[in-house]
Amino acid sequence: MRLVVDLTRCQGYGQCAFAAPEVFRMPGDEALLYEPNPGEEQREKVLRAAAACPVRAIVLDYQAQPADTRAREAAAGAERIVVVGASLAGLRAADTLRREGFTGSLTLIGEEPYEPYDRIPLSKHVLTGWVPAQHTALPRSDALEAHWLLGQPAVGLDRHTKRVLLADGSQVAFDRLLIATGARARPWPNADEAALDGVHTVRGRDDAAALRQRLAAGPGHVLVIGAGFIGSEVASDCRGLGLPVTVVDRGPAPLAGALGAAVGRVAAELQRDAGVDLRCGVSVHALEGDASGRLRRARLSDGSTLDVDVAVAALGGKRNVEWLAGSGLAAGHWGVACDAGCRAFDVNGLVTDDIFVAGDVARFPHPVYDYQFMAMEHWGNAVDQAEIAAHNMISAGPDLWPHVALPVFWSTQFGVEIKSIGVPTYADEVVITQGSTAQRRFVAVYGRQGRITAAVSFDHGMWLEFYGRLIEQAAPFPPRLRTVDQPATRQPVPAEVRSEPSAHATVVLTGHRPSQRRAVLVHGG
């Protein structure tokens, strides 16, 4: 059987760990780990665990429900739907299409040869050896009835003939298309150094399997380059395995790019208390190998040298848009631009009615955050956006849905469950409203220009839904509410959010008359 836990909903009650202890584990107060593909002998226990979950966060393989027949009429002009990207967003969109009544041809195209799998366990369960990489397949409907083209990367899009071009030279025609190609790990920038035996990234199933094999061999020292969520989780896994690990990040604190340095310093304490050699404000200048091409050392910007056997480049993601070059869509390193209904923009900024975008590759405007365009590489966003894109693909104009859900994400590291709702980087101040940073159990609320924009919890996740409602209501910051476990003083401090350059596009304009004016996207070398 297959299962996935929606950790955006999970509040750490732990009923599942009592009902099925071989499948669910809680190494900390709220941190939850689970086996995504347990054996059939665990089925009854897992079913009891799912029934016992107070917030219904456990999702299992499921049977198809009666379809919404209204969608069949709305989808009359869409007999062929193609989904490029056979991962979480692509699978969720396909399931939604069938659930809402689409009965036409449905094709899923995936670059990897594997059926859709969950990436969340890769940097948590797989690296520690609890779950094999091949046991991460996602639950899905028993009546999907889709044509799968796995191991067949898309290499081009012809919008005029409505065809997706594949690497083997074949073409797939569509009436409506969903782009859900996600992102890949950003590699170490020096190709020769990246090719050294011992240098890894973590994004896909093969990445995790290879790194797990290396960690299981007991390396003498592991270097993690980058202290974002993936880098921090890898460091946590290493310490859990008893391996010496150094984390290097050019920023002021771990997770500072996502949570700001004020909260990031609490994450730094977590790492150092766990035995991580954390070095912030430092970068790696070079990775060096021996004559056989094996990684041996790293040279840092402060002049020091580390002897290492394994290096993990956790440098963020790079959106998979190269196959869209020349398609006329507004696609670039920022992702694929779309409206709040997931409809792709062309290069002129016009909405396309037959091409949609969802997941990590999508860049969309959010009304709560001044309609700024943002891209979210989070599990919850991929799920929500895929369902909305699928609904809109087979719905008439008045029935279109906007994607306005607040972003939610989580990370399990060093026995602590870190959760967030809203956009912490869209803030200038932060205040602790519940708990204590000294005890590593608290809620931090973020604000900008007098209103609440986000909240982050360390082992206090049950309160995030409450703060989400405050964000939706544009509640004032700092909050003046009485809360449980309220600290003696609630004084806002600077959030210390790092200012990143915004994504930009370079275009040239052609034509003279209004009917002739067009934009042409210019890609950098």
149 pLDDT higher than 90: yes
185 pLDDT higher than 80: yes
Question: How far is residue 326's CA from residue 165's CA, in Å, rounded to a whole number?
Answer: 12
Q: Which whole-number Å values give the CA distances from 58 to 22, 156, 271, 299, 483, in the listed order? A: 15, 38, 30, 45, 29
30 pLDDT higher than 90: no
**Strand-strand pairing, 176-179 and 80-84:** parallel
Given a contact cutoff of 8 angstroms between Cβ atoms, the answer to whether 308 and 193 are in contact is: no
State the pLDDT at residue 181. 98
Question: How far is residue 78's CA from residue 91's CA, in Å, rounded to a whole number?
Answer: 19
The Cβ of residue 515 has, within 10 Å, a number of other Cβ atoms equal to 7
Could you tell me which residues come within 8 angstroms of residue 10 by beta carbon, excluding any fewer than 6 positions away?
Answer: 32, 53, 55, 57, 461
Between 499 and 435, where is the model more confident? 435
Amino acid at 489: T
3-state secondary structure 69-107: CHHHHHCCCCCEEEEECCCHHHHHHHHHHHHCCCCCEEE
321 pLDDT higher than 70: yes
Question: How far is residue 523's CA from residue 333's CA, in Å, rounded to a whole number?
Answer: 9
Average model confidence (pLDDT) across the chain: 91
Q: What pLDDT band is residue 63 in, cutting at 50, 70 and 90?
A: low
Amino acid at 359: G
Exposure b/e, 140-165, CB count within 10 A at least 16 = b: bbeebebebbeebbbebbebeebbbb
pLDDT tens, residue by residue, 72-127 = 445 557 899 999 999 999 999 999 999 999 999 999 999 999 999 999 999 989 99
What is the reported pTM?
0.91
Percentage of the chain with pLDDT > 70?
Answer: 93
71 pLDDT higher than 90: no
State the pLDDT at residue 503. 57
Percentage of the chain with pLDDT > 90?
Answer: 75
Given a contact cutoff of 8 angstroms between Cβ atoms, the answer to whether 420 and 253 are in contact is: no
pLDDT tens, residue by residue, 123-132 = 989 999 999 9
Given a contact cutoff of 8 angstroms between Cβ atoms, the answer to whether 445 and 478 are in contact is: yes
The Cβ of residue 449 has, within 10 Å, a number of other Cβ atoms equal to 10
266 pLDDT higher than 90: yes
State the pLDDT at residue 92. 95
26 pLDDT higher than 90: no
Angle value at C-alpha 116, between 419 and 210, nearest 5 degrees: 80
Could you tell me which residues come within 8 angstroms of residue 279 by beta carbon, excluding any fewer than 6 positions away?
Answer: 246, 247, 248, 249, 300, 302
- Mean pLDDT within 197-216: 97
Given a contact cutoff of 8 angstroms between Cβ atoms, the answer to whether 443 and 437 are in contact is: no
Given a contact cutoff of 8 angstroms between Cβ atoms, the answer to whether 315 and 226 are in contact is: yes
Given a contact cutoff of 8 angstroms between Cβ atoms, the answer to whether 376 and 368 are in contact is: no
State the pLDDT at residue 72. 46
Q: Which whole-number Å values give the CA distances from 416 to 205, 230, 268, 270, 274, in the listed order? A: 24, 15, 13, 9, 12
